């Protein structure tokens, strides 16, 4: 219950003095209830330009067909699936934070889950658009569904990983959306009860009539827990199935059993990097330093080192197994990756994903906002290259040397990708304006036990172990939102 | 008799509100409902709210998904249009595990959330039945039916004694209605 005291050894999840329940509501709803500032407009206009580019490039693809992409007979899958896997991977952090961390009772998820889940939904939208636009005849996209039809009822091929992928991605998207929206209901009700006029009407419809009565809350918690329980295997299955798009083929470099765990770790790795990229900026611009603290940033960085190292081990294992298998095709695929014409992509991937994240072992770097932000972008670049390397280098030199080729992207390829980033940021910035970017109700739960002020109160009462208090005060030094002079006296 | 329909004890602290519930129950005053801006753990036991059966429903929705996919795939690949793929069995079960799993999750999630919305009467556009507009912000509200509990002064005293910041006497049940 809220009255319990938390161990003083745990770092605070809410910093700042005189935070009240009303203060939390005011702070979080600040961007929703007020006109946007200049930083938001600049970001929004830039993103909108990107989104426009995306519309142009995708429309061009629809009109002229996928011949407008740089694909050739040898490399029939390149930039599009790279972008698809990259976006789906980024989407994984949201569900991981909201579901897996809920099951593990990691309270620090409470202030980052909402925006991470929103990010998941927008990333999956970006990924899904690649699926539709690569079809050539996108108006027939519904053919991937097993619908009764007039071709003598010809069914989709249920043995194909591409069909499994359609099931996985659409389930993932819709379940994430449900989870996100159900969690949003109490917070939308908070906006509703403070709004007037037209805004009130809109948020009334969106709030589904939420009142916060005992029974609704009790059922709400039961639903959240069950949804977390089913989303956990779901999130692992989604990237497993994405990896099977490759792993079930017989192409050297793709045909490996290590792919599912390797892809899942990579997805979490890139997802957390994207969460950091977005939240470090949002925290600053929206003034949410008291809710997204250095502890959150450091925890996410620790997950990045862990998953980055798993990815590193997977790269080395792949290489070792290629040699150990004795299969010369497999061996050539890997020698070609690291020393062939795409060596630069391979080493870009190695540097960005394996070497540079190791810097996060240093506490100074892990708790530096600037360094974390740069590293998070480096990781995302690295993860894009990882998919490019796996896809293009495995295809471009096939079994017949006469058909060996290189892949060169056209302006359409590049524009679809750059544009999808614009689309993603447009959606994210709109989200920040219309919905609370932090789960208000869940953060309120932490106020009485895990906040800096509650802990300071405990210290002042003076019944705590002196050594533990000392350790706690030392742990606060890295926080940029804590006034250190408060603790100098103690 | 007055026109007061509901007495609302408005607390600023969840622990004080819990204390208020205890006080009222000791004096046999029936609580209509409690509205809070966040979930309060342990409150359902105090107010006698029964354990949710949504988990049982979720299980059966999930199983329905599993069976739907297995039946659907069987009908498509064995009954309706069997295809000979290298002489392999038509119903290649390992291949169908990923999609069966996905449909299990899909049915479970939609069934669960649908039942939750139905059982707690949540749907788009429903008129919110709010007794105090601050219950979604910073106040923890205990609502007591004023007609059924006549001793208004005693209720007032008990609520304030437990730490209520204010006690409201509402002549309308829901303030959110125009």
State how far residue B89 is from chain A, nearest Cα, in angstroms. Answer: 12
Per-residue pLDDT reduced to its tens digit, B37-69: 999 888 888 888 888 899 999 999 999 999 999
Residue A344 has pLDDT above 90, yes or no: yes
Mean pLDDT of A371-395: 93
> Is A360 within 8 Å of A280 (Cβ atoms)?
no
Closest chain B residue to the Cα of A207, Cα to Cα: B124
Choose the weakest-confidence range: A133-137, A203-207, A419-423: A133-137
Mean pLDDT of A341-368: 92
B34–A213: do the CB atoms touch at under 8 Å? Answer: yes
Give the residue with greater pLDDT, A324 vs A94.
A324
At A4, the pLDDT band (50, 70, 90 cuts) reads low
Residue B103 has pLDDT above 90, yes or no: yes
CB < 8 Å to B76, chain A: 146, 155, 158
CA–CA distances in Å: residue A238 to residues A160, A235, A245: 15, 5, 11
pLDDT of residue A1: 41
Neighbours of B57 (CB within 10 A): 18
Q: Where are the alpha helices (DSSP H) in chain B?
A: 14-26, 43-47, 54-74, 93-119, 152-162
Per-residue pLDDT reduced to its tens digit, B106-129: 999 999 999 999 999 999 988 888
pLDDT, mean over chain A: 90
Closest chain A residue to the Cα of B129, Cα to Cα: A211
Q: What residues does B8 pair with on adjacent strands?
A: B143, B168
Residue B138 has pLDDT above 60, yes or no: yes
Q: Residue B91 carries which DSSP code?
A: S
| Residue entry with tokens 């049982």 | B56
Give the residue with greater pLDDT, A327 vs A464.
A327
A278: left (phi over 0), alpha (psi -120 to 50) or beta: alpha
Q: DSSP string of A237-267? A: HHHHHHHHHHHTS--TTT--TTHHHHHHHHH
State how far residue B16 is from chain A, nearest Cα, in angstroms. Answer: 10
Backbone torsions φ then ψ of B12, nearest 5 degrees? -100, -5
Mean pLDDT of B82-93: 88
Q: How many CB pairs under 8 A join A and B?
A: 199
Q: Which of residues 200-239 of A touch B (CB under 8 A)?
A: 204-223, 226-227, 230-231, 233-234, 237
CB < 8 Å to A444, chain B: 37-38
Which one of B40, B62, B133 has the shortest CB-CB distance to A193? B133
Interface check A33 vs B, CB under 8 A:
no
B112–A226: do the CB atoms touch at under 8 Å? Answer: yes
Tokens of B38: 């966040």
pLDDT of residue A310: 94
Mean pLDDT of B63-79: 93
At A450, the pLDDT band (50, 70, 90 cuts) reads confident
Most confident of the ranges A7-16, A239-248, A453-462, A469-478: A239-248
| Residue entry with tokens 């999808």 | A420
Mean pLDDT of A467-477: 85
Residue A117 has pLDDT above 70, yes or no: yes
Which one of A153, A214, A442 has the shortest CB-CB distance to B47? A214
pLDDT of residue A2: 44
Share of chain A above pLDDT 70, in %: 99
Q: Which of residues 54-83 of A touch B (CB under 8 A)?
A: none
């Amino acid at each position: 219950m809220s009255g319990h005291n938390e161990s003083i050894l745990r770092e605070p999840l809410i910093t700042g003095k005189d935070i009240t329940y009303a203060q939390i509501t005011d702070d979080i709803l600040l961007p929703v209830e007020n006109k946007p500032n200049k930083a938001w407009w600049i970001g929004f206009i830039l993103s909108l330009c990107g989104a426009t580019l995306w519309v142009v490039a995708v429309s061009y693809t629809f009109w002229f067909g996928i011949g407008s992409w740089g694909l050739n007979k040898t490399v029939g899958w390149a930039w599009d699936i790279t972008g698809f896997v990259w976006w789906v991977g980024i989407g994984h952090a949201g569900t991981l934070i909201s579901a897996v961390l809920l099951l593990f009772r990691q309270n620090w998820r409470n202030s980052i889950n909402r925006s991470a889940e929103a990010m998941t939904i927008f990333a999956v939208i970006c990924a899904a658009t690649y699926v539709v636009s690569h079809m050539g005849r996108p108006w027939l996209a519904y053919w991937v569904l097993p619908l009764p039809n007039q071709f003598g009822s010809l069914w989709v091929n249920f043995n194909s990983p591409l069909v499994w992928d359609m099931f996985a991605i659409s389930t993932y998207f819709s379940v994430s959306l449900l989870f996100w929206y159900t969690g949003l209901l109490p917070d939308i009700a908070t906006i509703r009860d403070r709004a007037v006029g037209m805004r009130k009407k809109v948020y009334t419809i969106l709030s589904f009539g939420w009142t916060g009565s005992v029974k609704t809350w009790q059922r709400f918690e039961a639903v959240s827990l069950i949804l977390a329980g089913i989303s956990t295997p779901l999130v692992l299955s989604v990237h497993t199935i994405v990896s099977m798009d490759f792993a079930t083929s017989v192409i050297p470099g793709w045909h490996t059993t290590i792919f599912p765990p390797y892809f899942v770790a990579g997805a979490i790795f890139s997802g957390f990097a994207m969460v950091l990229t977005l939240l470090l900026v949002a925290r600053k611009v929206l003034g949410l330093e008291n809710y997204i603290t250095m502890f959150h940033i450091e925890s996410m960085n620790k997950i990045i080192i862990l998953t980055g190292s798993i990815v590193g081990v997977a790269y080395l294992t792949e290489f070792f197994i290629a040699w150990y298998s004795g299969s010369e095709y497999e061996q050539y695929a890997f020698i070609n990756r690291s020393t062939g014409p795409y060596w630069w992509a391979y080493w870009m991937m190695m540097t960005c994903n394996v070497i540079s994240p190791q810097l996060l072992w240093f506490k100074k770097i892990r708790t530096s906002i600037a360094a974390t932000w740069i590293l998070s972008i480096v990781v995302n670049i690295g993860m894009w290259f990882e998919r490019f390397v796996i896809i293009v280098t495995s295809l471009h030199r096939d079994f017949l040397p006469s058909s060996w080729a290189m892949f060169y992207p056209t302006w359409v390829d590049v524009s679809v990708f750059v544009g999808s980033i614009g689309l993603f940021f447009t959606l994210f910035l709109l989200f920040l304006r219309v919905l609370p970017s932090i789960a208000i109700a869940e953060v309120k739960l932490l106020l009485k036990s895990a906040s800096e002020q509650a802990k300071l109160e405990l210290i002042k009462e003076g019944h705590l172990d002196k050594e533990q208090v000392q350790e706690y005060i030392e742990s606060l030094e890295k926080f940029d939102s804590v006034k250190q002079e408060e603790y100098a006296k103690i | 008799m007055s026109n007061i329909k509901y007495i609302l004890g408005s607390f600023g602290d969840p622990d004080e509100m819990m204390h208020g519930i205890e006080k009222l129950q000791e004096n046999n005053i029936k609580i209509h409902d409690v509205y809070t801006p966040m979930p309060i753990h342990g409150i359902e036991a105090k107010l006698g709210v029964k354990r949710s059966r949504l988990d049982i429903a979720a299980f059966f929705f999930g199983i329905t998904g599993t069976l739907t996919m297995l039946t659907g795939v069987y009908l498509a690949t064995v009954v309706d249009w069997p295809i000979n793929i290298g002489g392999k069995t038509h119903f290649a079960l390992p291949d169908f595990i990923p999609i069966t799993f996905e449909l299990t999750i899909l049915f479970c999630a939609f069934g669960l959330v649908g039942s939750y919305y139905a059982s707690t009467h949540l749907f788009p556009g429903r008129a919110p039945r709010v007794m105090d507009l601050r219950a979604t912000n910073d106040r923890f509200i205990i609502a007591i039916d004023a007609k059924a509990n006549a001793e208004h002064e005693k209720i007032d005293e008990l609520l304030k004694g437990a730490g209520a910041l204010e006690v409201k006497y509402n002549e309308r049940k829901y303030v959110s209605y125009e």
